[in-house]
Amino acid sequence: MKGTFLSIVLAITLCQADAQLSAPDKIETKMGSLTIQPIHHASLVLSTSGLTIYADPVGGDYFKNEKAPDIILITDIHGDHFDVKTINALKKENTLLIVPQVVADKLPESDKTHLVVMKNGDDITKMGISIKAIPMYNLPESSTAFHTKGRGNGYVLEIGGKNIYLSGDTQGIPEMRSLKNIDVAFVCMNLPYTMDVPEAANAVLAFKPKIVYPYHYRGQNGFRDIREFKKLVEAGDKNIDVRLRNWYPEK
């Protein structure tokens, strides 16, 4: 299963003593500079003055130089997105967890004090940012798919007037392709769990984010070709800024 396989791989990579994260990027918002720190695979940190957001934190050692999170977003139950041990090692007493129901069901009671459960289509505002839960699922839809519709969440965050999209595990679904006014997107691409590079590029060209990061690009048979992704996107729309970063710092 996906979770077992990737949990083993992640455990091995945490033993790499010389791991180096990509340097953070910054974009300007009405709340000040937004720092974007790639962490590992599906994990990243978004931070502004006074607010730190973790997305799908797995592998606590990768976060040793990061501020403790005010918000943790979890997209799904698989082990490369959801790890209770990591959450408990990193969160503060008042850290807000934002999760789909399937994740909430697996959290211990001690983690449910500050918890918001979101389903696809829900829209909330917390700590001055708006958060919308976006569907994420495999095509064609199937009850036996790795990711079934309605189980997990992608997210769109509005931070200081900038819209940030986290795809989670998905294919190039209509809900992704119809997104509007996305400033920064994080888009997955790893077979057989999500989509291949051409499908990811085609979806990005449909919703046209200003900046896109390919992430979550290691699959069953190694790494996807993110340089090919960049080539395809730029050939279709040279105005989209494709940013390649090291999401696997042991390499």
Domains and their CATH numbers in the chain:
18-242 (3.60.15.10)
**Residue 3: burial class (beta carbons within 10 Å; 0-12, 13-18, 19+):** middle
Residue 20 has pLDDT above 80, yes or no: no
Residue 6 has pLDDT above 50, yes or no: no
Residue 19 has pLDDT above 60, yes or no: no
SS3 content of the chain, % helix, strand, coil (to 5): 20, 30, 50
* C-alpha 214 chain-centroid distance: 10
Q: Which residue stretches of the chain are H helix?
A: 2-13, 84-90, 101-104, 174-177, 197-207, 226-236
Residue 79 has pLDDT above 60, yes or no: yes
- The predicted model gives 166-194 an average pLDDT of 95
Kind plus residue range of the DSSP H or E element containing 117:
strand 115-117
What tens digit of pLDDT does each residue of 86-102 get?
A: 999 999 999 999 999 99
Higher pLDDT, residue 60 or 127 = 127
When pLDDT is cut at 50, 70 and 90, the band that residue 110 belongs to is: confident
- Please provide the size of the chain in residues: 251
- The predicted model gives 170-178 an average pLDDT of 97
Least confident range from 6-15, 104-113, 207-216: namely: 6-15
pTM for the predicted model, two decimal places: 0.90
When pLDDT is cut at 50, 70 and 90, the band that residue 10 belongs to is: very low
User: How far from 40 is each of 20, 27, 105, 222, CA to CA, in Å?
Assistant: 10, 20, 25, 15
Q: Alpha-carbon distance 68 to 71, whole Å?
A: 9
